[in-house]
Amino acid sequence: MSGLVSLVGAGPGDPEYLTRLGERRLKEADVVFYDRLVAPELLRLASQAQLIDVGKLPYFHKVKQGQIEQLLIDYAQQNKRVVRLKAGDPYVFGRGGEEGQHLAAAGITFEVVPGLTSALAGLAAAGIPITHRDYAASFHVITGHRQSGNTALDWANIAAQEGTLVFLMGMSQLHQIVAKLRQHGKAATTPVAVIQWATQWNQRVVTATLATIINVVRQQKLGAPSLIVVGAVVKLRSALQPPNTPLTGKHLLIPAAQSTTLTTLLRDQGAFVDHFNRSTVQFLPIVLPNLQRYQTLVVTDMVAFTQFKAQLLAAKLDLRVLAALRLVVTTQRVAVGLRHLGLLVDAQIRQIELALTDPGALFLGAADTKPALAVDGATWLSLYRHVLLRQNQLRPRQYQVAIFTSTQAVNDLFNSVAPSQRQQLRDLPSFAFGEQVTAALLAQGVQRVYTSQPSYAALLTTLTNWLRQ
């Protein structure tokens, strides 16, 4: 019996271009083989999977193609759900066809999950339509990186085409592409665009003519990965390029595992937002207390409550045992979470304002957030603890701004990085969600801290006003 191999297209770069089926396959995966240009945020969707980097650099393949194909077969034969995550679309110069052939020959069940190819989406992100009734009735996508021994491209036919020409993986061959097109009759005045890191925060675009593009690319220091676009549609870029907002092209760091409403607000304003898992949760063994001893149940976070509910069920109890307790939460997020479970809270009180000396109060929370309690005071039930993840791959210098929405986020991040990364974080402009978060950042030695009121709208206003200065 074999598992399922999904050849998934990750899209052109921006993680939001992933399809819904691609997202589901990543969440279901046991193992993911991923390419070099895949957005790290997509890998976080595969939270339960083994991640294997098989990315390729020009002229250097850390894992040979034949080895990749055999690994896909081996894992599928272990009845695993395998994802081969490829930039763009698996069947557009991605060797997905070859991988599919080998899987089929081995009798492995596989599927293709199409992705947006940069040959289309990358142009659109730069304000260039690949077709237009007045400028191009066809388009042609050509690889600039040919396998050695293959028949040479038919440059006479390519140059004669009146539609849009898009060259993928062609930056190392830019001189040859320009020379061959001109040699076979393409006019020196033909508009050309080069789009580097299409759809991503560091996207850069230059336009020129076939006669001048090499010099412009050299002057602007563009390199791979880039798209080369040749054709009259390039002239439309000035009219069709996306609107420029205060957050356009800004690369923001939010130390949180998942996207939030704040993330959506920022992205809708043109920002590129990166998240990462600060820590993992380790559940702790507990002995359920006698709930009849308490008058108040204080829930400090939903992870704790979810584990508490699981422990109740394991003891053959359910939420009806809470009926006599006054239900208190410490944040609005917890109140909303409990409402989704059919529980309405009696009060929302900040933890700092709660009476920790009340022996009739039972707190649900994490071991590492437990406050100092009086001997005869409230009971704190530690249901889990955070285990910090080392952030070896974090490069703070690639961000323009960091945003912190909790003191826990501040402490987790600074305690999980190397000294050199910590110093870079101290130099990064940081926006704090309220005065307590500001104090935590200052305590870590952050040089530039900007405080907003603790609401997403206020933080967005504070950030955009700062960027306009």
Per the DSSP assignment, residues forming a β-bridge with 61 are: 56
57 three-state secondary structure = strand
Euclidean distance between CA atoms 457 and 469, whole angstroms: 19
Phi, psi of 251 (to 5 degrees): -105, 115
Picking from 168, 175, 225, 178, the residue whose alpha carbon sits closest to that of residue 199 is 225
Q: Please report the DSSP string for 101-120 in residue order.
A: HHHHHTT-EEEEE----HHH
What's the half-sphere exposure (Cβ side, CA atoms, 13 Å) at 248? 10
302 is catalytic: no
Instruction: Tell me how far the alpha carbon of residue 145 is from its chain's centroid.
Output: 28
What distance in Å separates the CA atoms of residue 124 and residue 193, rounded to the nearest whole number?
Answer: 12
Q: Using CA atoms, how far apart are residues 339 and 348, in angstroms rounded to an integer?
A: 13
- φ, ψ for residue 326 (rounded to 5)? -75, 125
Helix (H) / strand (E) containing 230: strand 226-230
Our measurement of the distance from residue 118's CA atom to the centroid of its chain's CA atoms, rounded to an integer in Å, reads 17
Number of other CB atoms surrounding residue 247 within 10 Å: 23
Contact present, 100 and 7 (Cβ < 8 Å): yes
Which two three-digit tokens encode residue 160?
Answer: 């004669």
In 3D space, the residue among 184, 221, 189, 227 whose CA is nearest the CA of residue 208 turns out to be: 189
Q: Is-contact 230 214, C-beta < 8 A?
A: no
Encoded tokens for 351 = 């933890």
Determine the distance from the C-alpha atom of residue 85 to the mean position of all C-alpha atoms in its chain, rounded to a whole number: 14
Which letter, b or e, does each residue of 375-386 get, where b requires 16 or more Cβ atoms within 10 Å of its Cβ? eeebbbbbbbeb
19 sits in the region (left: phi over 0; alpha: psi -120 to 50; else beta) called beta
Question: Is 35 a known active-site residue?
Answer: yes
- Is 56 considered catalytic here? yes
Number of other residues whose CB lies within 10 A of the CB of residue 229? 26
Question: Among the options 30, 80, 89, 169, which is catalytic?
Answer: 169
Tracing tokens 């501040």 back to the chain, one arrives at 410
Residue 469 and residue 465: Cα distance in Å, rounded?
7
**CA dist., res. 5 & res. 231, Å (int):** 38
Residue 79 CB neighbour total at 10 angstroms: 11
Rounded CA gap, 432 and 459, in Å?
Answer: 8
Catalytic residues: 35, 56, 169
